Structure 1
Amino acid sequence: MPVLLLLLLVLLNGCSSALPVQPSYTLPADGTVLSSHIARQAELHAKGLSGVRLLPNSTDAFTARAELARQAQSSLDLQYYIVQDGLSTRTLLKEVLAAADRGVRVRILLDDTTADGQDTLIATLAAHPNISVRLFNPLHLGRMNGVTRSLGRFLNLSQQHRRMHNKLWMADGKVGIVGGRNIGDEYFDAEPQLNFTDLDLLTVGPVAKDLAGSFDEYWNSALSLPIKTFVWTLPSRRDLAQRRRALDRSLVDAQAADPELYQRLTHYQRTPQLLNWLDDLIWVPAIAMWDAPAKVLASDMPGPELLLATRLSQEIEAVQHELMLVSAYFVPTQRGADYLAERAESGVSIQLLTNSLEATDVPAVHGGYAPYRHELLASGVKLYELRRQPEQKVAFSLTGDSESSLHTKAAIMDRQKVFIGSFNFDPRSMLWNTEVGVLVDSKVLAERVRQLTLEGMSPALSYDVRLERDETGEERLVWWTERDGKRYRLYHEPGGVWRRFNAWIARTVGLERML
C-alpha cells in the first residue's frame, strides 16, 4: 500500500470525530505578450509538453509575480493561504490594482485565516469593479473582534481545523506560479528578522491550464463566499480611492526608509525579466495535482479520490533507487516511519531535509517528528536539519540571506521526477488542509532541485543527525555541523528552552495527528 495512504489509515485510527501602471512592453496587435511568447515557444516543442522554470531565489519569485500582474491582459487569479502586510505585498497590490484599472478581471481567493480582523479592508479592495474577492471555508460566527472570533472557532473547531493551504498565482489562464510561498515579506527576503527558505515553479502550457482549472474549481465551490457576505456596509469606490492614496504614500515612505530594499524589489520595473524566462523554459511532461475542495467537508478521513496524496503516493511507491524529501514540517506517524525504514533497509537511498528545532517557526511540529529519528536513522534513512542562520549571508539559493526557516516542500524521485508544491509530509497536508502542486518528469529539473537540496544539507547550513554510541555503548543522537570551516558535533539538541517546551508539549499531549 502506498506510503501516504498508509499514513492516512493510521491517522484515521487515531482520529475523533491609484493611476494605472502602464505595461512595460508594447502589446502586439494579435494578442498579449504572454500569449505570443508562449505560443511561439510551444510550437518548437512536442505537443502536450509544458514549459517550467524553477524559482528558488526569493527576488526572482517576487519579480515573476509582479511581472505577471503587469503583463496580464485578460485575467489574474490569485489563491493564497496567508497574505501578510509589508513592502513586498504592497508593491504586488499596486500592480494588481493597475491590472484591474486596464480592464483585467482579478479574482482573489483567500483562506479565511488571512481575513482575521481584515474583512472591511479586503472588501475595500473588492470595491474595484474588476476585482472580486472570496474567502474559503469562512467562519460565520463572531467575526466582529478577536474575542468573538476566538469564541466562534471554539464552537466549531472541526471547521476551523480545515484550511485552504494552496498557493497559486495565474495570469491570463496561461502562466502560473505554484509552490510553497505565501505573500509576505518573509517569503521574499524583505523581512530583516526572518526569511523563509522556499521554492516555486513557473509553469506554462497544459499544466498551467490545469492549474487554472484547479482555481476555477475552488472559486466555484460552495465553500468560497464573497467577502461582501461578511461586512455590514460595503466600502465605496471613494473608500478604495482613499486606500490607494494611502498605499502610494506608504510606498514613497518605504523608498525613503530603505532605498536598497525598495530598489531591489522594484528592479523589475526598470529591467524586466519575465519574457527572457519564458524564452528559456524547460519543456517536459508535467502533471498538476490538487486536493478537491470537498476534502474539508469530510467528517473523518476524506475519500482517496479527493486527495492529492493518493496520486503522489503512487509516485513515491514507484521509487527504486533514491528518494529525497524536503519538508518544512515532517511528521511521518509510526506507519510512515515504518514504511520509510523498510524502504531504506531494502536498499533505497532515502534522505530528508527538514527544520531543526532551533530553526522551525512552529516548534510544536518538531514534537511530532523527533520521536521517529532514532528508528529512521537506525534503518539507514539520512536526516538533515536546517540550522538557524542568523550571523552570515549564505550563497545557497534555496535559503534566505538572514535568519531562515525552511518552508520548501519538494520530493525528488530516482533523479527523474520532482514534485513541487504546497504539500508538507505531515498529517495536516494529507488529511486536513487542501494543497496543490506539480509533478515534473525531467532529469534536468530533478537534478537542479537535487543539487539545491544537497547544498541545503551541507554542514555549513544544516545539522547532519546521526546515531553514535557513547562510552556506555548506548546509541544516542548527535548533530554534526560546521563552523568557520571546522567540523564538530553537538550532543544536545540545538534549540532554546521555550522551543524544547513546545516540542515536549506536542509529544506529551499527543498532538501528532493534528500537526
Structure 2
Amino acid sequence: MLLLLSACANVLPQHLKNAPYSQPHQTSLPKFSDAPLVQLFEQKQQAHNRISLNQPIQSANLPMDTAMPKKLPNLRGLINERMAERTGEAADSAVYPLSNGVEAFAARSALIKHAKYSLDLQYYTLQKGLSSRLLLREVVIAADRGVRVRILLDDREQLGRDKEMLVLNAHPNIEVRLFNPIKRYRSNIVSRWMVFLSNLSSLRRRMHIKMWLADGVLGITGGRNLGDRYFNAGDADNFSDMDVLLGGTVVDKMQAGFDDYWNSEQVMSVDAFDSQHIDMRREQISQMIFSTSKLTQLERVSRHPYLQALKDTEQEMLPIVLSKVTWGQVEFLIDPPSKINHYPDPAHISLSEDGEIRMDTPVFDNLIRAMSQAKKEVLIVSPYFLPGDELTQFLINLHNAGVRITILSNSLQSNDVPVVNGHYDYYRDRLLQAGIAMYELRGYPDVPAQPQWRHPIFSIKGSRTALHSKVVVIDGQTSFVGSMNLDPCSVTGNTEVGVLIQQPAFAEQMRQLFLTQLDPKYSFEMRQNQGKTVWYLGAESNLDETQTMRHISGTTLKNEPGSLWRKLQKYIGTWLPEHYM
C-alpha cells in the first residue's frame, strides 16, 4: 500500500496548503466527546458505557488554520467531573509507564489508529527504519480519513531528507515543520555541514523534545525518539528507554506547549525548502522510505519476531493500558523555544551560597527544586552524565545532608556517544569519593540468547544495549520522566520536556525498575580502590543496611571495559569543549 497520497487531495482547499509558513495554525484544540480516544479515556473513569474498538471511525475534516466551534463540549470539564467522583480531586491526571520498547511502539500505533481529529508529533529525530515506516504508514492512513496531522522535527537530524519530508507534506491533511533549520545551502552534505560548522554557536542548539499527542486527549512524552533502536527493533543495538502515556488535565498543557512551538519564530515549514514540483515527487512515492510494501523478503524474515511481538502487544492495547493507569498530580514542564537564543557559549549554572542551583529554564529548575526537597533518597538515570561543577556540588551537598543518592549512567562499553566519557570520568570520580553510589550499564547484558521482548532491559545475545532513559525518583513519592540529560547540551543549549509525577505507586514502579537495572546482569558497580576507580561485577546483588543496592561475590575489573576504538573516541572527547557535549 502506498503511504502517500492521492485521492484525498480535496479534503482541504488548495489555498490552505499554499499559505505561507508564517501563518499560524489554530493555537487551541477543543475536545470532542464523540472521538474514540475521548470515549476510551472516559471508559476508565466510568465503570459503565463501554465502547467497541472496532466501531467505524467517521471522517472529520479539520482544516489546519480554522478555529474550532466553541459550542463543542469541553473535555476538561468532563474529565474533572468524573475524577472528582472517583478521587475527590479534580486536577488529577492518568499516567502509565512505557518501559518496554514494543509496548511503547504499540501505544503510539494505537493512538494513531483511534485518533479522529488530530495527531501532533514533536521529535528531535525521525530515523529511517522499519518502525518509522510502520508508524508513518498509519499516520498517512489517519490523514486519509480526515485526521489533521502536524509533524514538528528538529532540522539537524533531518538534514538531507527534505525530499522525504516534502512527500509527507504534500498530503493535504499533513504539514511538516522544522525547528531551527539551516536556511541556505541545504542541497548537499558538504555545504550543509559547512553552514552548520560556521554557525556552530546557534545551530548546535536543538529541539530535544519528544512528544506525541492524539485528539488532545492522550499524550506520550519521555526519552524516546522515533527509530528502531528506541523500540527494540534494532539489529545491532537498542536503547533502554522510558516514556509515559498521559491523560487528563496534563494533556491540555502538553497541547498548549506543542502549539507554542508550532507557531514560534524558530520554526519553518518544510515547504520553504521546496525546490521540486509536487507532481514529480508523487511519481516517486513508492520509492520513499515510508512505503512498507517495498520491504525486502530478507527484511521481513529478519524482523519477523519483532512484528509478531508487536502484533500480540497491539491487541486491545488501549483498553488494557487504561485499566492499569495510576492517577496523580502531574506537572508538565517544557522549555520555551526561545531558550536557544538566550544563553552564550558556555552558559553557566548558578549555585548560591545557600546551595540553591538554578538555570532559569523550566525543566531543569523544576527538577532541581524537587530534588532539593528530598529527605531520604534520590535515584538518577542519565545516559550522558556531565553534571558540571555546580550540579556535582549540589549532589554532594544533598548526600552530606543525609540523602541517599544512587546514579546510573552509560559505561564506555554501552555509550552510543563514547566521546562523552572523555569528561565524564572527572565527575564520576568526584562523586564516588564523596560516597555517592554510582553504576554504569553494561554494553552487553548477560541475558538469554533469545529476544526477551518484555524484559526490563532489552537485548539479543551479542547485541549492544545503551542507556537512553532520563528518570529521577525522589523519596519514593515523586518521579521525573523526560528528555533532559544531565549534561551541558540539555541543560544550557537544547530545549527539553518532562513531567513531574506526584504518585507513590508510580514512583515505586520506577524505583523497582531502577533497582532491576542495577543487577549485575545489567550494570557495573563503580568503586574506589586505593584512590582509583574500578568496575565491580558481582555474582548477585542485594540491598545493604542503608538500602543501597550493592554487588556481592564478584570480580573487580581494574581496566575500563570497552574496545580500543571506544577508548580512542573517549580520548578524543577529552580535547573537545565540554559545553558542546
| Equivalent residue letter for 1:418 | S
**Residues paired across the two proteins, number:** 484
Aligned to 1:32: 35
Aligned twin of 1:388:
443
Q: In the alignment, is residue 287 of structure 1 matched against residue 287 of structure 2? A: no
Match of 2:482 in 1: 421
- Where 1:285 maps in the other structure, the secondary structure is strand
Q: Does the 8 Å CA contact 2:439/2:524 hold for their aligned counterparts?
A: yes
State whether structure 2 residue 134 is matched by structure 1 residue 73.
no
CA deviation after TM superposition for structure 1 residue 244, in Å: 7.2
Is the aligned partner of 1:255 residue 2:270? no
Contact 1:328/1:354 (<8 A) preserved: yes
Answer yes or no: is the 8 Å Cα contact 1:481–1:489 preserved in 2: yes
298-307 or 188-197, which moves further after superposition? 298-307
Structure 2 residue corresponding to 1:399, chosen from 453, 457, 475: 457
Provide structure 2 residue ranges, at least 5 long, that are not aligned to the other structure.
Answer: 5-31, 46-78, 349-357, 541-551
Question: Which residue matches 1:14?
Answer: none
Q: Secondary structure at the match of 1:458?
A: coil
What is the CA distance between 1:305 and its match in structure 2?
A: 4.5
CA–CA distance in 1 between the matches of 2:325 and 2:309? 24
Q: Secondary structure at the match of 1:228?
A: helix
Question: Does residue 207 in structure 1 map to residue 230 in structure 2?
Answer: no
TM-score (norm 2): 0.79
Structure 1: how far apart are the matches of 2:217 and 2:515? 32
For residues 85-484 of structure 1, what are the structure 2 equivalents within 5 Å?
85-236=128-279, 238-239=282-283, 242=286, 247-251=291-295, 253=297, 254-256=299-301, 258-267=303-312, 271-300=315-344, 301=347, 304-389=359-444, 392-393=447-448, 397-402=455-460, 403-469=464-530, 475-482=531-538
Deviation at 1:245, TM superposition (A): 10
Letter in 2 for 1:39: E
Distance in 2 separating the partners of 1:178 and 1:240 = 33
Deviations 1:269-302 (A, max 9, x none): 6x23112212321111001001000001125249
Per the TM alignment, residue 218 of structure 1 is displaced from its structure 2 partner at its CA by 0.6
Query: 1 CA distance for matches of 2:386 and 2:277?
Result: 43
1:258 Cα shift? 3.5
* Secondary structure at the counterpart of residue 399 of structure 1: coil
**Alpha carbons 2:2, 2:286 under 8 Å: kept:** no
Q: Deviations over 1:182-223 (max 9, x none)?
A: 111111111120010000000001111111111111111011
Counterparts of 1:19 and 1:195, CA distance in 2: 29
Task: Tell me which residue corresponds to 1:495.
Answer: 562
Q: Percent identity?
A: 37
Deviations 1:142-181 (Å, cap 9, x if unpaired)? 2000111011112211122100110011100110010101
- Which region of structure 1 is more displaced relative to structure 2, 338-347 or 348-357? 338-347
Higher mean C-alpha deviation, range 216-225 or range 331-340: 331-340
Sort the Cα spacing of 1:105 and 1:344 in 2 relative to 1 into closer, same or farther, 3 A.
same
Q: Which structure would you say has the larger RCO, counting Cα contacts within 8 Å and 6 or more residues apart?
A: 1
Distance change (3 Å), C-alpha of 1:455 and 1:101: same
TM-score, scaled to structure 1? 0.89
Find the counterpart in structure 2 of residue 4 from structure 1: none
Contact 1:20–1:102, Cα closer than 8 Å, also in 2 = no
Q: Which runs of 5+ in 1 are unaligned?
A: 1-17, 22-28, 470-474
Distance 1:70 1:288 in 2: 25
Segment drifting more, 256-265 vs 310-319 = 256-265
| C-alpha displacement of 1:241 | 5.1
State the SS of the aligned residue for 1:258: helix
Name the residue aligned to 2:99: 56
